[in-house]
Amino acid sequence: MKLLVFLAVAVALAAGSATIGLAQTASPPKTAKKLTSNVSGTVRSASSDAVVVAGRDKGKDAEWTFAVDHTTNIRKGSKSIIAADLKAGDAVQVRYLERDGKATAQSIVVKAPKKSVKN
């Protein structure tokens, strides 16, 4: 009888240590992913801390306001510029992150103007 109890305890302990071992090797819980989105449009206005872009979303006219901070990468051609250098009418591609209902631009790329074709 003592042998049977000993075996039962040994099996229970072995099963418990296997579970503990699995818990230690399990991956950490996943945190919320930061999802970025992209939008193309035309600059309506720009200041040192915000850019307003007009474009189309799902077939309808839309306008977005993006916060700009010190981490926002803004490029025009091969040059790095600041948000205040953007001009109304500039065609842009904006990659942004939305947090707490606020869209913050991660990068803004000014697209080269389309060349007109002369006949």
Please report, for the chain, the start and end positions of each structural domain, with discontinuous segments joined by +.
36-110
Contact 54, 113 (CB under 8 A): no
Residue 20: predicted pLDDT: 47
How, if at all, do strands 73-76 and 102-110 pair?
Answer: parallel
| The overall pTM is greater than 0.85 | no
Residue 12: predicted pLDDT: 61
Q: Which residues contact 56 (CB under 8 A, 6 or more apart)?
A: 41, 62
Span 36-110: which CATH code?
2.40.50.320
For 96, other C-beta atoms within 10 Å of its C-beta total 23
Calculate ∠ Cα 56-67-96, nearest 5°: 55
Higher per-residue pLDDT: 86 or 101: 86
